[in-house]
Amino acid sequence: MKIETLKDAFTKVFGEEKEMKVFFSPGRVNLIGEHIDYNGGCVFPAAITYGTYAIVSPREDQKVRLYSGNFEDRGIIEFDLSDLSHTEDEHWSVYVKGVMVQFKEAGFNIPTGFDAYVFGTIPNGSGLSSSASLELLVSQILKELHGYEISMVDMVKLSQKAENSYVGVNCGIMDQFAIGMGKKDYAIKLNTNDLSYEYAQANLGDNSILIMNTNKKRELADSKYNERREECDKALELLQTQADIKFLCDLTVAEFEKVAHVLTDEVLYRRAKHAVTENERVKLAIDVLSNGDLKEFGQLLNQSHTSLRDDYEVTGKELDTIVELACAQEGVLGARMTGAGFGGCAIALVQNDAVEAVKSAIAKGYKEVIGYDADLYVATIGDGTKTLA
Ligand code: GLA
């Protein structure tokens, strides 16, 4: 992305400004460990080089003026720091206000506003976390403009809280963590039980991660997401009558099978089973990756998808079609949906010399079955949220 182009766009919208700061916040892919970041499980995401940019100029008054190059029809969105309440037609500014409210509640004073031109290269609603990317971007802007003493992990927590209590999606911490704490060429092994983490070299040998965007709009995704969370909470409550656990993922698969008889509701059983088995797959996946066993890593991706399809039921026709198509191609070691599901993106682990052939086969097959195009591109793992200039 050319920063000069973004600065020109800023100037066109807001006129000449004295001071411009430049910020970037990435999107993320999750390699494995899906829907367990709110069940105390281990997840394995990475930040990607697609993300959200902001050109920001501080103001002396209390106004905030926002413009997105992705939503030009919305024009300039303006509000005052003295009123951060949710308006009816909030659109993307909901993430900006949501983060500001969290900073204020945490005791950070926001004395003055800013003008910001924002542009994202993450397709919206693709499951690559354009919203968490924006939340961390706003956190970084506030920190930089007002000189707060706050760690990235605390900004990650405030951003998650904004999503939970202001936006109303009861998400876990994985997306915000991967985005804020991302590091070029590394995936993050994050234990959501206690937030301990380790960087693990994403050593994929002669393979790449292919991102496969189904372009299926994630309608109802947020309400379905919250519904899955509630189901896990119910399952946990029942299992707690049998075992001394704080989260579903405190149980190994063997321990789970011993106490699972209390889950007489078959749906709750399958939800909990996904969480427990997925957590074990993540641990195995990290082990085999560090030993360079990419074939086994690919198998675990496949098993993760099957569990998300059959037990957790968050895939759908588009994601299943694209994953099946990928797995049928020579040179593909494994594939799975990534993110919340219900549409959005899947990933495939593909041998470098097969990438082009795999892309055209998937593109053709997907269009035939689904009727519209998928977008396919190779992911590059990049750094977390930062001030660029
Ligand atoms: C969304 C949420 C994350 C996580 C994933 C599923 O991306 O924001 O917290 O739960 O879904 O793994």
Instruction: Give per-residue pLDDT as tens, 302-312.
Output: 999 999 999 99
Instruction: Kindly give the distance from the C-alpha atom of residue 225 to the centroid of ligand 1, in angstroms, as a whole number.
Output: 8
* pLDDT 10s digits, 339-365: 999 999 999 999 999 999 999 999 999
pLDDT at 125 over 90: no
* pLDDT 10s digits, 155-175: 999 999 999 999 988 999 999
* pLDDT 10s digits, 22-54: 999 999 999 999 999 999 999 999 999 999 999
So where are the chain's domains? 3-201, 207-379
Angle CA(206)–CA(343)–CA(220) in degrees, nearest 5?
A: 155
Instruction: Kindly give the distance from the C-alpha atom of residue 35 to the centroid of ligand 1, in angstroms, as a whole number.
Output: 6
DSSP 117-152: EEEE-SPTTSSS-HHHHHHHHHHHHHHHHHT----H
* pLDDT 10s digits, 49-103: 999 999 999 999 999 999 999 999 999 999 999 999 998 888 899 999 999 999 9
Backbone angles phi, psi at 207, to 5 degrees: -125, 160
DSSP 219-249: TTHHHHHHHHHHHHHHHHHHHTTTS--SSGG
Q: What is residue 219's predicted lDDT score, i.e. its pLDDT?
A: 62
Ligand 1 within 6 A of 135 CB? no
Q: How many CB atoms lie within 10 A of CB 290?
A: 13
Alpha-carbon 115 to chain mean position: 26
b/e 130-153 (16+ beta carbons within 10 angstroms → b): bbbbbbbbbbbbbbebeebebebe
Residues 6+ apart with CB under 8 A from 329: 350, 354, 357, 358, 361, 362
Ligand 1 within 6 A of 339 CB? yes
Pair type for strands 114-120 and 63-68: parallel
Distance from C-alpha of 287 to C-alpha of 270, rounded to nearest angstrom: 26
Distance from C-alpha of 47 to C-alpha of 385, rounded to nearest angstrom: 9
Q: Give the confidence band of 126 by pLDDT, cuts at 50, 70, 90.
A: confident
The model carries a pTM of: 0.97
Atom of ligand 1 nearest to the CA of 43: 12
Q: How many CB atoms lie within 10 A of CB 196?
A: 10
- Rounded to the nearest 10°, the torsion over CA 197, 295, 343, 235 is -60
Q: What is residue 229's predicted lDDT score, i.e. its pLDDT?
A: 96
- Known catalytic membership, residue 175: yes
Residue closest by Cα to atom 11 of ligand 1: 340
Instruction: Kindly give the distance from the C-alpha atom of residue 135 to the centroid of ligand 1, in angstroms, as a whole number.
Output: 15
Residue owning tokens 């078959």: 266
Question: Residue 240 has which token pair?
Answer: 């707690």
Question: Residue 124 has which token pair?
Answer: 């919206």
Distance from C-alpha of 357 to C-alpha of 333, rounded to nearest angstrom: 14
Q: What is residue 221's predicted lDDT score, i.e. its pLDDT?
A: 66
Instruction: Kindly give the distance from the C-alpha atom of residue 37 to the centroid of ligand 1, in angstroms, as a whole number.
Output: 7
Q: Which of 175, 185, 250, 310 is catalytic?
A: 175
Specify the fold of 3-201. Ribosomal Protein S5; domain 2 (3.30.230)
Question: Would 3-201 and 207-379 be classified into the same CATH topology?
Answer: no
Ligand 1 within 6 A of 175 CB? yes
Ligand 1 within 6 A of 340 CB? yes
Specify the fold of 207-379. Alpha-Beta Plaits (3.30.70)
